[in-house]
Structure 1
Amino acid sequence: MATYDMTMNLTEENKQTIKDALETKGAVAPCARCSTPTMSILDSLVALTSIKPNESGDDQEYGPILPAAALICTNCGHLVLHSAGILGLTQQLGIR
């Protein structure tokens, strides 16, 4: 299985997978901040990771990366993140 390059843009097929998964799961509410009904899917995934001090306390350690699909409100810019794994994108994109 190939490793997904997090700098690559999502294809229209990938975006449709996100849209379909969100609809299937009932995650179609309007923006939580301004109630605008239109959310747009960003062109690439985002990578979330945890950061914590190492045992000596003089540096930081990074946890595993969680790839996420990001939606943005077309009115106020509010960002919403959804796990790429839960949406079925990790298998489609070859993310391990």
Structure 2
Amino acid sequence: MRLVVDLNRCQGYAQCAFLAPDVFAMHGDEALLYDPHADETQREQVLRAVAACPVQAILVDDGPDVPDPPGPAGGDAAGRGPSGVR
């Protein structure tokens, strides 16, 4: 299960860290740390955390596993290769 958190939307209410502490954790008062590739055994807790988020900042992506975007040598997240061309 892949998780995406909109860290610009997250306000640090920490409901997710309370409901799924093995996946989400607060670092300080406002910074959220989370495992973007949460284990399937955590699904129930994660779904509760998603539902409890007051600003709806958490998305569960159940689609096929998509590899992380390539680094600078392999192009960028927009799909452009090292030369900047698609």
TM normalised by structure 2 equals 0.28
TM normalised by structure 1 equals 0.26
Q: Which has the higher strand share?
A: 1
